Amino acid sequence: MGDGQLPPEVERGAVRRITIVGEDVLRRRCEPVTDTLFGTPELDRLIDDMFATNHVAHGAAIAANQVDVDLQLFVYDMEDDWGVRHTDHICNPVLDEQPPAERRLVDDMEGCLSVPGPYKAVARADHAVVRGQDKDGNPIVVEGRGYFARCLQHETDHLYGRLYIDRLAKRERRDALREMEELKDGVLTRRAELAERLGK
């Protein structure tokens, strides 16, 4: 999608600072979205800001604690393996448990906006079902396969204080953090330049 035809959420939203590995908010279980927040302009604004922030960072999805907000919420805007675009949000997501016999794990490359730069192979189930609520508190179910399933699992992990690098062997994790230190400045500069170009 070119800069000239931004999704409405991105048009409305403001870009927020993305938290980086090492910050406490990424390491604890987030607070649930409750009735005091459902259906409020505050929650609408946060969702729009998350879409805008995800867009300038060229992300597939972003969780609330990645914009320094301690809430069980993530948004996604991505194409799956079959070219189908998925754009939405979910509050209080819970992944369905899959019986081991039915679960098919796939190793594929994964990155993270809060670990700017590196990509590493991570094993994830190739099918995921997440249950939660929309911004008005209505129950919703999101189902994904392939890359979209990976995204749903990655973002749900975030809301429980887990990062993809936690799923790596110790040496791989060290490599990822070293690569991040080398690549981080360039990644953050590109994000800032795109935000400026979009007037965000």
Query: What's the start-to-end Cα distance of the chain, in Å?
Result: 17
Model pLDDT, residue 3: 44
What tokens were used for 155?
């973002």
Q: Which amino acid is at 108?
A: D
- CA-nearest of 194, 174, 165, 198 to 59 is 194
Cα dihedral 40, 194, 118, 93 in deg (nearest 10): 10
pLDDT digits (tens, 9 = 90+) for 86-95: 999 999 999 9
Known catalytic residue: 31? no
Model pLDDT, residue 1: 41
List Cβ neighbours of 133 (8 Å cut-off, separation of 6 or more). 33, 38, 90, 91, 92, 139, 140
> Helix 41-56 to helix 170-197 angle, to the nearest 10 degrees?
100
pLDDT-derived band at 84 (thresholds 50, 70, 90) equals: very high
| Whether pLDDT at 157 is above 70 | yes
Give DSSP secondary structure letters for 93-124.
Answer: EEEPPPPGGG--EEEEEEEETTEEEEEEEEEE
pLDDT digits (tens, 9 = 90+) for 23-51: 999 999 999 999 999 999 999 999 999 99
Query: Which residues is 123 bridged to in the sheet?
Result: 107
Across the chain, mean pLDDT equals 95
Is the Cβ–Cβ distance between 176 and 165 less than 8 Å?
yes
What tokens were used for 124?
């994830």
From the list 155, 172, 182, 196, the catalytic residue is: 155
pLDDT digits (tens, 9 = 90+) for 174-185: 999 999 999 999
